[in-house]
């Protein structure tokens, strides 16, 4: 009997890629997609890399596909925006070896800056989308995605969501297929997308999508389940499970391919059920098309376009009641916070003290936007900190940004921040850029990047030196400062924000959660010296709490001995000493 | 078997993922269909985290919904209160008698609720353990979550021996003995 294993959705996606014979995988980390690459790398048959950003990752996978092997790119939904340039055009060119892009959407915004629906991108890019409903399907549908990629000469998007990616289910393991490498034959009409060639390919692409829609009626991933026909659902992905949970007797058309839609199958299903609901998270992608065919359905007028769905949501809409038995208690919120000993807290305490605004970026340091640090003013997308600051300067003049900086992490800087910094230099900006270098991609769980000196496959490689990279752009004023050296940070910030030239302050200290990081020290309060001023509490370290008498307590199991609270105490009422 | 719904709640960094790995492992070993749902990413940084575990003959959705949980395992008091409404009428709460103040309390924007355990007892069957204290007695405060799991294990459908086997397979080899003792401390 085949081995059964309990697998995270992302682990099952990786397994599916392995079993499909994938040889090359490229990605940039992003919740909820990161664990795909972290599991791919366990298979020695696959070359796997962290690319600096999703566009590069997509192009690496495209190159591998054109050369004749099966290739994978994986990313979160907003990463697809970064990769959309190659995606839209490889849709025209098609593939040689099978090419799959796994896109991880985040309904409910567990860890994202928006709630966009990748199916909308896929419709615009004319790329088919496969959507599994649990870990077992995630693995099987990956293999199916490679089949149709090669059969229909198209890149394929496998769409997952946070709930699927981060849920575990039972998976039956299979053997790895070893498809022979396809020969590469020079074919500019297909692979050189200049106007004359692209015109021809566009004709092909439209035919391809029509064919997929027609033949999709017979794809095994699309399945009509007839039970009670007085009520029917068209659904896909995780919402299918909610339908099965809340309405086990209803008929269901479960779509495994959500773009293009199998029109014949949908028309047939619609004709057999009395009342037809479309149950899809986020945008009304299926609904609008089905309505356009003149089919009467109930959809977004009763189901929200926001957040995650649930069986209880369905019960409330259908039956006016759900399974809940009591109201939720009113309790204080517990939002995520920077860890005890996080170097970002130290840097932000200085920005806060100097009342400097920060154009922010994507990373743990976004948490500097909220109380008590209140430092980050803007967060848009990866790499945007530097360019938005530059835009402010060009709009309002260089004096306007004298109390502003851009803050960006090392991984985000390598992702796309570097382009923005080039622009600031080229177009004669005068902004101050702080690169918070914690030697890793922190928020997604510690992935390496081009400036860490290690690859996804664990190889030691020369690290790109961020200091020299900035210097090579011709930036004269570049400083590296220990992230916990408050005095040096304060002085540098005062100096550099005043300056009429681009300057970069690289703050250095590893992420506290980075493996191998050791903390010899611990901070201990000396209550007899405490003046109860609260200065140590201000940066919001979770290891510090106030006692009933106004002195402070430090939880030694949480404290990492960074010494920030000690440095902020004017009365030597905190000791930072060896454990 | 009708699907059984377990929730593990706590504060990011308290080790909810290890506990769910053990629970996932044991349900598969016992031959059930199982689905688990976890929180990864930014919410793990000291935020409120919840893991759902569902097992039975055939499991559809991977989450536990309001009013459906059989057992709520809470590593912190406030988190027990936050998720108590997910329990069925006769659902059981197993709670670590421990407080971690959220940032909203530390900054004075909110107050940490008093008498949480007493409040929970008004509506539910509640089993309380000060697992931090117990773990300290065992010599490793990090083993506290396995103590809580041990107490909760009495409300699930698996033999003690199977629990111990799965724990031995799941935790790092060096910590097997410690975790075994921690589990038994909670279970017995």
A445/B33 CB distance under 8 A: no
Shortest CA distance from B106: residue in chain A:
A545
pLDDT exceeds 70 at position A546: yes
Check if the beta carbon of residue A73 is closer than 8 Å to that of residue A17.
no
Residue A483 · residue A461 · CB < 8 Å = no
| A242 Cβ under 8 Å from any chain B Cβ | yes
Q: What is the pLDDT of residues A251-299, one digit of tens each?
A: 999 999 999 999 999 999 999 999 999 999 999 999 999 999 999 999 9
Three-state SS for A130? Answer: strand
Question: Residue A360: pLDDT band by 50, 70, 90 thresholds?
Answer: very high
Which residue from A335, A390, A383, A394 is spatially nearest to A360, judged by alpha carbons? A383
Nearest alpha-carbon partner for A168 in B9, B4, B72, B21: B21
- Using CA coordinates, name the residue in chain A closest to B132: A557
Tell me if A31 and B109 make a contact (CB, 8 A cut-off): no
Answer whether residue B188 shows pLDDT above 80. Answer: yes
How far lies A384's CA from each of A370, A391, A496, in Å? 19, 10, 20
> Considering only alpha carbons, which residue of chain B is nearest residue A367?
B42
Mean pLDDT score, A514-529: 93
**Shortest CA gap A577–chain B (Å):** 21
Given an 8 Å threshold on Cβ–Cβ distance, is A542 in contact with B103? yes
Cα distance between residue A89 and residue B50, in whole Å: 41
> Chain A neighbours among B 132-151 (CB < 8 Å)?
141
Please check whether residue A163 touches B, CB under 8 A.
Answer: yes
Question: Does any CB of chain A come closer than 8 Å to the CB of residue B12?
Answer: yes
Beta-ladder partners of A525: A574
Strands A257-259 and A275-279: unpaired
Place of tokens 């640090």: A373
With an 8 Å Cβ cutoff, are B110 and A332 in contact? yes
- For residue B42, pLDDT over 70 is answered with no
CA B93 from centroid of its chain's CA atoms: 9
What residues of chain A, 384 to 403, have a C-beta less than 8 Å from chain B? Answer: none
B-chain CB neighbours of A324 within 8 Å are: 65-67, 85
Nearest residue to A236 via CA among A226, A223, A245: A223
In this structure, of A287-296, A446-455, B99-108, B151-160, the range with the lowest mean pLDDT score is B99-108
Q: What is the pLDDT of residue B157?
A: 86
Number of inter-chain CB pairs under 8 A, A vs B? 179
**Interval B85-89 mean pLDDT:** 96
Which chain A residues are within 8 Å of B120, Cβ to Cβ? none
Query: For A416, which DSSP code?
Result: I
Q: The sheet that has A47-50: what strands, in order across it? A: A47-50, A24-27, A71-76, A99-105, A156-161, A129-130, A257-259
Q: Are B53 and B8 in contact (CB under 8 A)?
A: yes
Q: Which two tokens stand for residue A236?
A: 């896909």
Q: Under a CB-based contact definition with an 8 Å cutoff, are residues B91 and B72 in contact?
A: yes
Q: Which residues of B touch A111 (CB under 8 A)?
A: 40-43
Task: For chain B, give the longest Cα–Cα distance.
Answer: 49
* Residue B39 pLDDT: 78
Strands annotated E in chain B: 4-11, 33-37, 48-56, 69-74, 87-96, 125-129
What was the pLDDT predicted at A1? 65
pLDDT at B40 over 80: no
Q: How far lies A204's CA from each of A23, A152, A258, in Å?
A: 27, 10, 20
Percent of residues, chain A, with pLDDT higher than 90: 96
Looking at chain B, which residue has its C-alpha nearest residue A340? B46
Cβ-defined contact of A167 to B89 (cutoff 8 Å): no
Residue of B38, B40, B95, B117 best to disrupt the A interface, most CBs of A under 10 A? B40
User: Of all helices (H) and strands (E), which one includes residue A5?
Assistant: strand A4-8
Which stretches does DSSP call E strand in A410-543? 432-437, 477-482, 503-508, 521-525
Instruction: Give the Cα separation of B73 and B96 in Å (integer).
Output: 8
- B170 CB within 8 Å of a chain A CB: no
How close A543 gets to chain B, by Cα (Å)? 9
For residue B1, what pLDDT is reported? 83
Q: What would the pLDDT profile of A117-133 be if each residue is shown by its tens digit?
A: 999 999 999 999 999 99
pTM of the complete model: 0.96
Asked if B106 and A4 come within 8 Å (Cβ–Cβ), the reply is: no
How many angstroms away from the CA of A201 is the closest CA of chain B?
A: 40
Closest residue of A to B24, CA-based? A6
Per-residue pLDDT at B15 exceeds 90? no
Q: A329, B81: Cβ pair inside 8 Å?
A: yes
| Interval A136-188: pLDDT, tens | 999 999 999 999 999 999 999 999 999 999 999 999 999 999 999 999 999 99
What whole-number distance in Å separates Cα of residue B159 and Cα of residue B152? 13
The nearest alpha carbon in chain A to B23 belongs to: A6
Distance CA A499, CA A301 (A): 56
The answer to whether B67 contacts A325, with C-beta atoms less than 8 Å apart, is yes
């Amino acid at each position: 009997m085949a081995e059964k294993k309990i697998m995270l959705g992302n682990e099952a996606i990786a397994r599916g890629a392995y079993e499909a014979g994938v040889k090359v995988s490229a990605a940039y980390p992003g919740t909820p997609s990161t664990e795909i690459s972290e599991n791919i790398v366990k298979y020695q048959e696959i070359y796997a890399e962290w690319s600096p950003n999703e566009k590069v990752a997509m192009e690496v996978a495209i190159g591998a596909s054109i050369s004749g092997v099966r290739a994978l790119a994986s990313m979160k939904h907003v990463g697809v925006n970064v990769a959309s340039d190659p995606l839209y055009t490889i849709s025209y060119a098609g593939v040689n070896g099978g090419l799959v892009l796994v896109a991880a959407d985040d309904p409910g915004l567990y860890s994202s800056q928006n709630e966009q629906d990748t199916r909308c991108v896929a419709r615009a890019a004319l790329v088919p989308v496969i959507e599994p409903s649990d870990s077992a399907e995630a693995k099987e549908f990956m293999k199916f995605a490679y089949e149709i990629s090669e059969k229909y000469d198209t890149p394929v998007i496998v769409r997952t969501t946070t709930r699927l990616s981060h849920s575990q289910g039972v998976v039956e393991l299979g053997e790895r297929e070893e498809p022979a490498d396809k020969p590469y034959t020079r074919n500019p009409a297909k692979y050189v997308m200049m106007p004359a060639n692209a015109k021809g390919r566009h004709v092909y692409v439209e035919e391809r999508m029509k064919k997929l829609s027609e033949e999709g009626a017979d794809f095994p991933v699309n399945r009509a389940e007839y039970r009670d026909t007085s009520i029917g659902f068209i659904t896909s992905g995780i919402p299918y499970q909610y339908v099965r949970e809340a309405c086990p007797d209803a008929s269901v058309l479960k779509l495994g391919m959500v773009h293009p839609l199998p029109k014949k199958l949908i028309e047939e299903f619609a004709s057999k059920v009395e009342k037809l609901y479309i149950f899809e998270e986020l945008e009304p992608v299926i609904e609008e098309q089905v309505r356009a065919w003149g089919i009467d359905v109930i959809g977004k007028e009763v189901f929200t376009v926001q957040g995650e769905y649930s069986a209880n949501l369905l019960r409330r809409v259908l039956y006016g009641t759900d399974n809940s038995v009591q109201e939720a208690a009113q309790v204080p919120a517990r939002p995520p916070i920077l860890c005890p000993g996080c170097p970002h807290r130290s840097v932000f305490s200085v920005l806060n003290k100097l009342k400097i605004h920060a154009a922010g970026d994507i990373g743990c340091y976004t948490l500097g936007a909220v109380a008590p640090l209140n430092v980050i003013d803007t967060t848009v997308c990866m790499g945007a900190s530097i360019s938005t600051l530059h835009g402010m300067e060009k709009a309002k003049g260089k004096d306007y940004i004298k109390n502003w900086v851009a803050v960006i992490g090392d991984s985000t800087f390598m992702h796309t921040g570097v382009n923005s910094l080039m622009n600031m230099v080229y177009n004669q900006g005068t902004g101050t850029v702080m690169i918070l270098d914690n030697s890793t991609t922190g928020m997604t769980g510690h992935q390496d990047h081009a400036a860490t000196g290690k690859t996804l496959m664990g190889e030691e490689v020369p690290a790109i030196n961020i200091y020299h990279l900035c210097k090579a752009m011709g930036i004269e004023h570049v400083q590296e400062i220990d992230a916990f050296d408050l005095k040096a940070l304060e002085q540098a910030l005062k100096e550099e924000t005043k300056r009429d030239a681009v300057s970069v302050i690289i703050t250095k200290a590893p992420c506290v959660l980075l493996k191998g990081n050791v903390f010899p020290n611990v901070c201990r309060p000396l209550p007899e010296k405490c003046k109860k001023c609260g200065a140590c509490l201000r940066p919001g370290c979770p290891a510090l709490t106030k006692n009933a008498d106004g002195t402070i307590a430090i939880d030694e199991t949480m404290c990492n001995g960074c010494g920030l609270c000690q440095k902020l105490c004017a009365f030597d009422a905190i000791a930072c000493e060896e454990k | 078997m009708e699907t059984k719904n377990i929730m593990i709640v706590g504060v990011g960094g308290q080790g909810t993922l290890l506990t769910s790995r053990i629970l996932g492992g044991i349900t598969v070993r016992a031959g059930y269909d199982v689905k688990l749902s976890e929180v990864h990413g930014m919410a793990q940084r000291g935020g409120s985290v919840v893991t759902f575990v569902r097992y039975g003959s055939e499991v559809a959705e991977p989450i536990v919904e309001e009013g459906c949980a059989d057992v709520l395992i809470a590593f912190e008091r406030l988190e027990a209160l936050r998720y108590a409404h997910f329990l069925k009428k006769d659902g059981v709460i197993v709670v670590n008698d421990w407080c971690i103040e959220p940032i909203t309390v530390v900054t004075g924007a909110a107050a940490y609720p008093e008498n949480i355990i007493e409040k929970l007892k008004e509506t539910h069957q509640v089993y309380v353990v000060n697992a931090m204290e117990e773990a300290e007695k065992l010599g490793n405060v990090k083993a506290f979550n396995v103590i809580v799991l041990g107490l909760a294990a009495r409300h699930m459908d698996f033999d003690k021996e199977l629990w111990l086997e799965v724990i031995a397979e799941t935790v790092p080899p060096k910590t097997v003995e410690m975790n075994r003792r921690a589990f038994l401390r909670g279970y017995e």
